[in-house]
Amino acid sequence: MKIVQLFTVICLVSIIGLAGCSKTSSPTNTPSATYTDDIGRTGRITGIPQRIISLAPGNTEIVYALGLQDKLVGITSYDNYPADVKNKTIVSDYSTVDMEKIVNAKPDLVLADSIQEKDIIPAMEKLGITVYTITPNSIEQLFGDLKTLGQITGKSNEAEALVSNLKTRIQSVADITGNLTELQKPRILYVTWHDPIWTAGSGTMIQYLIEKAGGTNIASDLQGYATITLETTIQRNPRLSSL
């Protein structure tokens, strides 16, 4: 039962909360919006974007969670949720971005990831493409991203409702798991990549979610996202791993 509760909260990192979205309407036009994204870039958008590209699976799920899927004109080959995403046009891989396909899609907003910070984002900026980078390190930063994207896209009401729903879901799980003893908490390895093994340590949103879900992160001594050897993983004896 505790493992089921753990997955309930871990799934929040992918914004699997579509059912909690508000059906309230938002304006079709919005004044200029100034934003600062998760890698510290400041930008300005005039009017509501009508053509959105997502360069990370998590960003795609956010687009759907806010009810913006009709404006989604490009995704990555790694996107697989929700099911409707299979009908969207693949314009890129995740770490290797196809700039020609992105330009041909004529986006007025690209939702990027920090993995594209070094080369891809500057290249898009040079082409005059508006980029917002989503790579939250905490749940509060994720909530901020949702609200900012809601403002940018004219979905502020939906964003506020989604954040409220997520907070309620997290708290309902934390109320159950908050009194667990250390012996009752399953030992967790959260795998972000398999060769080599990459995992999430302290200072990440994954660490926060594992703790809220009543688990113990076996990689909590590592900082940020880092590699861990198979030998170390075996020694630390996780009861559950996730990829």
Domain membership of residue 170 (yes or no) is: no
For position 242, what pLDDT does the model report? 67
How confident is the model over 95-114, as pLDDT tens digits?
788 999 999 999 999 999 99
Based on the fold, state whether residues 149 and 210 are members of the same structural domain.
no
Asked, for residue 58, whether it belongs to a domain, the answer is yes
Residues 71 and 117 in one domain: yes
Same domain, 185 and 96: no
Q: Are 107 and 51 in contact (CB under 8 A)?
A: yes
Q: Quote the domain boundaries for residue 203.
A: 180-242
User: How far is C-alpha 5 from the chain's CA centre?
Assistant: 20
Q: How does DSSP classify residue 117?
A: T
Domain count, the chain: 2
Q: What is the pLDDT of residue 94?
A: 82
Please provide the average confidence, as pLDDT, over all residues in the chain.
86
Percent above pLDDT 70 for the chain: 86
Q: How far apart are CA 138 and CA 86, in angstroms?
A: 29
Kindly state whether residue 17 falls inside one of the protein's structural domains: no
- Entry pTM: 0.81
Q: Is the model's pLDDT at 45 over the cut of 90?
A: no
Residue 158 has pLDDT above 60, yes or no: yes
Which is nearest to 38 in space by CA: 122, 148, 156, 181? Answer: 148
Give the model's confidence band at 13: pLDDT under 50 very low, under 70 low, under 90 confident, else very high.
very low
Per-residue model confidence as pLDDT tens digits over 161-205? 999 999 999 999 999 998 999 999 999 999 988 889 999 999 898
